[in-house]
Structure 1
Amino acid sequence: MARPVIGIIGNHHLIGNDYRTQAAGEMNIAAVADVCDALPLVVPSMPEAVAVADLVEVCAGFIFTGGRPNVHPSLYGHEETPGHGPFDPRRDSLTLPLIRSCVERGIPILGLCRGFQEFGVAYGSTLHPEIRDLPGRMNHRMPPDGTLEEKFALRHPVNLTPGGKFAKLFGSDVIQVNSLHGQGVIDAGSRVVIEGYAPDGTAEALHIAGACNFAMAVQWHAEWRAGEDPVSRALFSSFAQAVHAKRSCAAA
């Protein structure tokens, strides 16, 4: 039997300052292939080339990946500032309606880092362009120096809502995560349920209320060594179970 297809949202990159590409990190691809036992399909962030209606027919689930460009502030009612950038409006135009369509149809979705912020904005949340500038907040950005292992190392705990979806998934109310982001959710939308916070109050884990299937997102990069880290493996395994179950809202 063929493995289910999981779409991995790609990001725009320039090679040599003029050659435009769409790509996804091998960490995401490996997590889908190895932990989810699914066929990874890189989805270009090009709404002029791929339509939401087509994607939801092809893919059994989606991973909304991290990426350097941020969600454009006009999409959550804020003015653009240099601190908000850079942007990728084509990705915004694809991912936000895709998230809402998947929730409506019961297609499992998992958000990581930028994907966490996309989940929030898709359902009315606002973002702050630079979390570390807020009083009492830590620097959540990627360390500028060191090896890849050092940059993706566990950096702080996340306190989870006791008895919530994430605490049940991980079997603990406190977990350790990496931290490689600048922006963060400030005001959660009406359907955005925050269930995890860093010690400084930064939102780290959310799910979409009323979703009939897996619709969860985390601010950290859970794709890093997803098969080895117990927290990451639990998250991807739970997402994979939903994908393999092939449950829809109509069948729920």
Structure 2
Amino acid sequence: MIHPRSRRPVVAVVADRFEYHKHAAHAVLEGYVHALSKVAKVLPLIVPAHDEGVDAETLVSTIDGFVLTGSPSNVAAERYGAAPLPPSTVVDPARDAVSLRLLPAILEAGVPFLGICRGFQELNVVFGGSLERAVHDQPGRLDHREGDHDRPLARWYEDRHEIHVAPGGRLEQLSGKATVMVNSLHHQGIERLGTGLRVEATAPDGLIEAISVESAEQFTLGVQWHPEMRVDDSPLAQAIFTAFGDACRMRLSQRLQPRFHA
């Protein structure tokens, strides 16, 4: 019999759905797999964006953590009661259907959660919040987009602006600082904060950059930037994934407790 301490926690990561050689496909970018495997030290389990094939009850009983990643696609505006996005906007209705349905069940079950970029925005939508579709067009806002795509990929993820960390929150525990530099690769952002969410950090222009679930006893964190691409050189990125992995190990121990005896 395998003892829980020799197991890695299983973390569900919802895939993006896209077309590959005229076929529908499901995939997660390498940066998330790397950060979860190397730093969080968990086993990433890619969950397809296939609503009929993903049962929440089965998933909750199987996993120790849940991740919603960043993505080139945007949450459909209809999901938060706004007018449809322009036709040129990349959307992923299949991911919307799976992510927005699963997340409430995951949180209610006490499963640790980490949301990044789109995942951060999905968390806000689940709690009744709304999104600003073009932050850079709003007066007084910074341009939070990644910039020139012809640059080497690593330069997309360089630090762009500081964030102001809210005192007394989870992010302050992880960063140990009042301000910290982060990268920025998004054009949408939180417009109206969802009810029941706590602001963990803001950008200099006031845009919300990190949130958590106020009532959750387990680890919950959503960030607008991309720590998964900086785990090799950013102490904050390392701290985020390490803390998430620790929370997943605690969940694993609790989940398997009835099956094992000291």
Q: Shared fold (TM-score greater than 0.5)?
A: yes
Instruction: Tell me which amino acid in the other structure corresponds to 1:132.
Output: H
Output one character per residue of 1:40-64: Cα deviation in whole Å (capped at 9) or x when no partner.
1111111122222222122110111
Count of residues paired in the alignment: 249
Equivalent in the alignment of 1:141: 145
Instruction: Tell me which amino acid in the other structure corresponds to 1:155.
Output: R
RMSD: 1.8
CA distance in 1, matches of 2:210, 2:108: 21
CA distance in 2, matches of 1:33, 1:124: 32
Instruction: Tell me which amino acid in the other structure corresponds to 1:152.
Output: Y
CA distance in 1, matches of 2:103, 2:218: 12
Q: Tell me, what secondary structure is at the counterpart of 1:48? A: helix
Residue pair 2:175, 2:236 contacting (<8 A) in 1 also: yes
Output one character per residue of 1:57-83: Cα deviation in whole Å (capped at 9) or x when no partner.
221101110111111111111111307
In structure 1, which of residues 13, 19, 24 is the aligned counterpart of residue 28 of structure 2?
24
Equivalent in the alignment of 1:176: 181
Q: Tell me, what secondary structure is at the counterpart of 1:75? A: helix
Q: Mark the runs of 5 or more structure 1 residues left unpaired by the alignment.
A: none
Instruction: Tell me which amino acid in the other structure corresponds to 2:13.
Output: I
Residue pair 1:142, 1:179 contacting (<8 A) in 2 also: yes
Equivalent in the alignment of 1:155: 160
Q: Tell me, what secondary structure is at the counterpart of 1:237? A: helix
Q: Tell me, what secondary structure is at the counterpart of 1:186? A: strand
Greater fraction helix: 2
CA distance in 1, matches of 2:248, 2:77: 32
The CA deviation at 1:215 is 1.2
Residue pair 2:76, 2:85 contacting (<8 A) in 1 also: no
Instruction: Name the CA shift for 1:110/1:143 in 2 (closer, same or farther; >3 Å).
Output: same
CA distance in 2, matches of 1:60, 1:20: 28
Equivalent in the alignment of 2:116: 112
CA distance in 2, matches of 1:248, 1:136: 47
Equivalent in the alignment of 1:242: 247
Equivalent in the alignment of 1:189: 194
The CA deviation at 1:14 is 1.7
Tell me, yes or no, if structure 1 residue 96 matches structure 2 residue 96.
Answer: no
The CA deviation at 1:13 is 2.1
Instruction: Name the CA shift for 1:135/1:248 in 2 (closer, same or farther; >3 Å).
Output: farther
Instruction: Tell me which amino acid in the other structure corresponds to 1:53.
Output: E
Compare CA radii of gyration and give the structure with the larger one.
2
CA distance in 2, matches of 1:149, 1:189: 33
Equivalent in the alignment of 2:57: 53
Equivalent in the alignment of 2:9: 4
The CA deviation at 1:225 is 3.1
Equivalent in the alignment of 1:76: 80
TM-score normalised by L of structure 2: 0.90
CA distance in 2, matches of 1:139, 1:171: 27
**Identical amino acids, percent of aligned pairs:** 35
The CA deviation at 1:190 is 1.2
Tell me, yes or no, if structure 1 residue 226 matches structure 2 residue 231.
Answer: yes
Q: Mark the runs of 5 or more structure 2 residues left unpaired by the alignment.
A: 1-5, 258-262
Equivalent in the alignment of 2:3: none
Q: Tell me, what secondary structure is at the counterpart of 1:100? A: helix
Equivalent in the alignment of 1:129: 133
TM-score normalised by L of structure 1: 0.94
Q: Tell me, what secondary structure is at the counterpart of 2:51? A: coil
The CA deviation at 1:163 is 2.4
The CA deviation at 1:241 is 1.0
Residue pair 2:113, 2:221 contacting (<8 A) in 1 also: yes
Worse-matched range after superposition: 160-169 or 174-183: 160-169
Instruction: Tell me which amino acid in the other structure corresponds to 1:184.
Output: G
